[in-house]
Structure 1
């Protein structure tokens, strides 16, 4: 278990926050876990002071069994209160770390919350498929979810049309606008895995044809909150090595 301070010393009435995440194979950096990265990003975007603890599950210390018996990382300790449900942690942090001290991360459009929701499931079916004859069908289903998400990024949102009624294409940076939101914290870690795994095991890149999606990822990788919370590519590749099917005929 490795602990690293993600902020300066707490001041005044700052809550005491510790985020426990899955460790990498070297047991020090962040491992391949989109749920861990999701919470990591939320706390970073909230500009909260927190302690990040990586947990090597092969040698999980007894203290974890005392903190969250039966649970797997990620989980959160907030002022000595343990939280283990990912969605509830997100809601809790949005409620407790609220304006004016902390930025709001909720979306203005409900469609942003569900954009890309099928991608990871279709990707998993595609990448884990052991039957060569089914590969083309599964690939098409997976790509269809990418095209659908791309369309969401290319379509102007209402506030963009308010600013320019003649806009035919969106220029926004992220899912819900020009600020990262809870929806991005959920989607981006999954897209990073998709990008890395598909490139290595399927020789597939997100092409320039998916203009909106490519713009989104390019913008996201410029943000420290996303880029620096990503696991190393080698961690992602290694995590999928045992489940990916090579489709040898």
Structure 2
């Protein structure tokens, strides 16, 4: 998604890591993709890869994807943890408690999306609710690139295993996702629902009856 937003020409080659070429197995033993190799230097940490791409593919030739506001980088950072606990639990007795914690993390993100950012208040001091499209403004940033794939997984897996959908009452989050699904950069890098469910087949649990 970052490369799409940067406008870089690239070739995508998929690899089955169970049958990966030896050169790939030797590249970063014990590490999971993605890897980035540049001038024989290997980057395996997601954050380091993002930092490298942002520093290397920099203005004026490429757009800047960093956030203006540091708070945007941490928005929604607890959702996936709460989601994992919620979806891995098969005990009906714990479901309500875990769902409330998960929902609380969604509400927290919703509130951030509804809260006007400083640049919006500079334009309209009387603005009570944010009108921006994404986390940090009206352009996608690295923060969105981090959060959006996780939110999509949350939507797909929760619907399948809990028949849970993000409440329409969370207007900021609902608006955010609706806007995001219009973006070709996200749609073109988003895995199919079937692929997500296959990946979670051995992880997510239906509630015991």
Using the size of structure 2 for normalisation, the TM-score is: 0.96
Please point out which of 123, 138, 152 is paired with 1:178: 138
Does the 8 Å contact 1:55/1:73 carry over to 2?
no
SS in 2 for 1:54: coil
Structure 2 counterpart of 1:162: 122
Residue 106, structure 1, aligned to residue 66, structure 2 = yes
Secondary structure of 2:37's counterpart equals: strand
Secondary structure of the 2:148 match is helix
Instruction: Give 1:202's aligned residue.
Output: 162
Q: Structure 2: how far apart are the matches of 1:161 and 1:202? A: 39
Choose 137-146 or 62-71, whichever is displaced more: 62-71
User: Which is strand-richer, 1 or 2?
Assistant: 1
| SS of residue in 1 equivalent to 2:13 | strand
Output one character per residue of 1:107-132: Cα deviation in whole Å (capped at 9) or x when no partner: 00011000100000000000001221
The residue aligned with 2:10 is: 50
Aligned mate of 1:117, from 72, 77, 99: 77
> What is the CA deviation profile of residues 47-106 of structure 1, one whole-angstrom value per residue up to 9, with x for unaligned ones?
122222211012111121243333321111234432211111111111111100011000
Q: Please list the CA deviations of residues 5-61 of structure 1 after superposition, one character each: whole Å capped at 9, or x if unmatched.
A: xxxxxxxxxxxxxxxxxxxxxxxxxxxxxxxxxxxx111111122222211012111
Identify, as 1 or 2, the structure richer in helix.
Answer: 2
Give the corresponding residue for 1:244. 204
Question: How far apart are the structure 1 equivalents of 2:31 and 2:87?
Answer: 27
Distance in 2 of aligned mates of 1:114 and 1:85: 18
| 1:68 aligned to which of 28, 47, 62 | 28
Aligned to 2:109: 149
1:227 aligns with 2:184: no
Within the candidate set 119, 140, 149, 1:189 is matched to 149
Equivalent pairs counted in the alignment come to: 209
Q: Distance in 1 between matches of 2:22 and 2:192?
A: 27
Partner SS, residue 244 of structure 1: coil
How far apart in 1 are the matches of 2:14 and 2:40? 18
Spell out structure 1 runs of 4+ moving beyond 4 A.
none
Kindly provide the CA deviation profile for residues 110-160 of structure 1, in whole angstroms up to 9, marking residues without a partner as x. 110001000000000000012211111000000000011001111111111
> Unpaired runs of 5+ in structure 2?
none
After TM superposition, the score normalised by the length of structure 1 is 0.81
1:131 aligned onto 2:98: no
Cα RMSD of the aligned pairs, angstroms, is 1.2
Partner of 1:78: 38
